[in-house]
Every structure is written in C-alpha cells, then in structure tokens.
Structure 1
Amino acid sequence: MTQRNNRHSDRQQKLKETVDNKIAQAQTVKGLLLVITGNGKGKSTSGFGTVARAVGHGLKCAVAQFIKGNWDCGERNLLEQHNVEFQIMNTGFTWETQNKETDTAAALRIWQECRRMLQDPTIDLVLLDEITYMVSYNYIPLEEVITALENRPKMQSVVITGRAAHRALIELADTVSEVKNVKHAFDSGVKVLKGIDW
C-alpha cells in the first residue's frame, strides 16, 4: 500500500510541476475568442453558462441570439434581470420560415447590433449564439465577422456557438470545443423538456 501511495505521489508531483510550468509561461492577458461547435447538444447552454459565470464576477455581458430567438428562453429570463443586453433575430428556426430574403434581412439587422457590441469597450463578454449558421447560409458575410472579431477591444471576450463553425473562425479562436452527439432523447421520440432542453 505504501509503495502504491508513493507512486501516486510521484505522479501527482510530476503533474503539478507540469501544470505550474504552464501557468508560469502563460503571461498574455487579453480577451478570449471561444468557439463551441459540433453536432451535439449543449453548445448554446455552454455559451450561456459562460455568460452566467461572467455576470457572477460582475462583468458586463451582451447576447445576440440567432435561429431560436422567438422561443421562451430560460437563460434570457434570468440574465435580463442582471442587465444582460439581448438582441434577438426573432424569426425562429430557418427550416420553419423557409424564406431566405426575410431571414437574411433579420440576420443583418441583428448583425448591426453585434458590430456595435464588438466595438464597445465597456462590454466584457459577447455571446454570438448560433451565428455559425448565419455564416454558413451566407446571411452574414464571413469577412465582416472576422474583421469585427479582430478589431474588438483588447479585453473583450467573445463566445461563438453553432454547428459547422467555419475554419476561419476556428483558426482565429483561442479555444475551440467540439460537442459530440453520442445519444439524444429526441431521437428516441422523447419530447423536449422546458427548463432542461430549453
């Protein structure tokens, strides 16, 4: 037992040294660009979790919601009480609207608000929820998104969510997480549950 404990202590000490070294080398201080993409469920939930964390630390946050904007949103219900600005596309799912012209106009209208947010040094964190679809569908020009992200205030962080994030967004990002779909209740005929799924 003592030998096993000693081996464990040695492994943990080596791990600590590695982590301490990485912490010592991480000297850059700047806002982060996080991309949460992939086919699994939970990308928006993760983005909103980051907003909640930031609000809990007293940071000023703003959210732009694309795609699901006309749903009752538990996160919005909570975060608006903490002075989080929301800009909502409010057209619903694109497979329901099936109107590229009106969807593009709505996306561009919200994108103008996003550009304002991304120029405002008083906003610490911006969540661009499901903007990847707007880029994929060519509703919002990729070049404009990249330019706005590159020219935002130095300490402003941004979270981008949505499937199929463009490779240019992935390359620009500081952190990229891919959410993998292993199993989803909806595929088994289970209805979405208020407060859990949305």
Structure 2
Amino acid sequence: MSDTDQITPDDQTRHAQKMAKKKAARDRMMQTKTGEKGLVIVHTGSGKGKSSSGFGMIMRCIAHGMPCAVVQFIKGAWDTGERRLLTTHFADLCSFHAMGEGFTWETQDKSRDIAAAQAGWDRAKELIRDPQIRMVLLDEVNIALRYGYLDAAELVAFLTDEKPPMTHVVLTGRGAPEAVIGMADLVTEMTMIRHPFKAGIKAQAGVEF
C-alpha cells in the first residue's frame, strides 16, 4: 500500500487548510517585495560550485536576451566548457574575456600575475560602465583580491560609485575579503563536505571545467 492510499479526507482537508495559510502569508510577503536594482553578488567559500553558479546566472541572462560579459581572472589559460559554449554559440549576447594565465603556482611570476589581474580589472571596469550590459561575471576575482593582486578597497569604491544602477556584478572565488562581503547584496558561502580530489580523482571535463 502506498502512502497516498493512507491519506484520509480529513488529512486532505487539514493539508489544504495549512497550505492555504502558507500561500496567504507568502502572497502578503511578496506584495512588499517590489523593488529592483542591480545586485552585487558574491560566491565564496571552500566548496565547489562558485563559478558554476555564476555561469548559471550568465546562461539565464542569455535566455532572457540580456547582454552580459565574463572576465576570467585566474582560469583564463584553461580550455573550459563554459568558454567554448559562450564564445561559440552566444558571442552576440555574452562577451568573454579570458585575462588570467593560470593559478599563481603555475606562473610562478608575481609581477606577471599582478599585471594580468590589473588588465582583467581594467577590462571589467569598461564592461561594468556600459549600461547596455546587464550582468558582468568576475570569475575568480576573489582569488586575485586575496593574493593582493588587486586592491579590495578600490574595487568596492568602484562598484559603489560607478556601477550603473541596474547592472548585476557577480564575484566568485574563495577567500572573498570582508570589505567585499560587507558591500554585497547577496553572499553565498559554499561549504565543502566531500570532494573527489581528496580521494585521488582528478578534475574532469563537464564537472570542473
């Protein structure tokens, strides 16, 4: 016998009444949420999914016909699936700028890393200033901030003073500075519970890149 076979008419009535109360409360709450603004969104933490979430929002923008842009600060040298997809199929709506040269332990050249990060930030500022672009994803920018390749105070000041009112800016990467977290409208911290890398599984296409 399935669980549905055990539902009595009284059970159904109580459930309907309970859900009606929840819907009424939800409708009242939603009536107060009428504002719109361009959001500063931060995805940080040690868990997987920060960039993936950012690219998910980029795909939503594309689906709505909203012009958007991506600036990659660290993984620019990688041939990633998202880069292939966006540059091959959606270049008319999403401009993709791979500015990084790899993780800092790969380049082993701090001055080069700083120059690449600054070039990425200069490009990001141009894109953010363009009011036609509705979302700009700054992929792994938090890592550049954490290593001191970019100045967090400058970034916060720019987003506060120069970002157009309806432009969304998404910042990904672990170790987001407190100043960035403090000024953001939406902050999500990804928590790692288990990761296959610790079990000897390498990064795999379609999962990590």
Deviations 1:113-150 (A, max 9, x none): 01111111010000001111111111111122112211
**Structure 2 unpaired stretches of 5+:** 1-7
Rounded Cα–Cα distance in structure 1 between residues aligned with 2:207 and 2:181: 28
Rounded Cα–Cα distance in structure 1 between residues aligned with 2:77 and 2:43: 22
Matches within 5 A, 1:109-120: 109-120=119-130
Of 190, 193, 197, the match for 2:204: 193
Aligned to 1:180: 191
Rounded Cα–Cα distance in structure 2 between residues aligned with 1:61 and 1:185: 32
Rounded Cα–Cα distance in structure 2 between residues aligned with 1:169 and 1:17: 37
Shift of 1:22: 2.1
Shift of 1:3: 2.8
Rounded Cα–Cα distance in structure 2 between residues aligned with 1:171 and 1:37: 13
**Structure 1 unpaired stretches of 5+:** none
Asked if residue 57 in structure 1 is aligned to residue 64 in structure 2, the reply is yes
Shift of 1:190: 1.2
% identical aligned pairs = 42
8 A contact 2:73–2:116 mirrored in 1: no
| Aligned partner letter, 2:83 | R
| Aligned partner letter, 2:145 | V
| Aligned partner letter, 1:110 | G
More deviation in 124-133 or 72-81? Answer: 72-81
Rounded Cα–Cα distance in structure 2 between residues aligned with 1:31 and 1:141: 22
Aligned to 2:5: none
8 A contact 1:118–1:148 mirrored in 2: no
Matches within 5 A, 1:101-180: 101-150=111-160, 151-180=162-191
8 A contact 2:69–2:95 mirrored in 1: yes
Rounded Cα–Cα distance in structure 2 between residues aligned with 1:7 and 1:176: 37
Shift of 1:76: 1.1
TM-score, length-scaled by structure 2:
0.90
Of 31, 41, 46, the match for 1:34: 41
Matches within 5 A, 1:61-100: 61-80=68-87, 81-83=89-91, 84-100=94-110
8 A contact 2:51–2:172 mirrored in 1: yes
Of 9, 30, 42, the match for 2:16: 9
Identify if the C-alpha distance between structure 1 residues 7 and 170 changes in structure 2 by more than 3 Å, giving closer, same or farther: farther
Rounded Cα–Cα distance in structure 2 between residues aligned with 1:175 and 1:17: 26
Shift of 1:57: 0.6
Shift of 1:69: 1.1
Rounded Cα–Cα distance in structure 2 between residues aligned with 1:98 and 1:191: 22
| Aligned partner letter, 1:168 | A
How many residues align? The count is 198
Rounded Cα–Cα distance in structure 1 between residues aligned with 2:112 and 2:205: 28
- Work out which of the two has the higher radius of gyration on C-alpha atoms and give 1 or 2: 2
**SS of 1:69's equivalent?**
helix
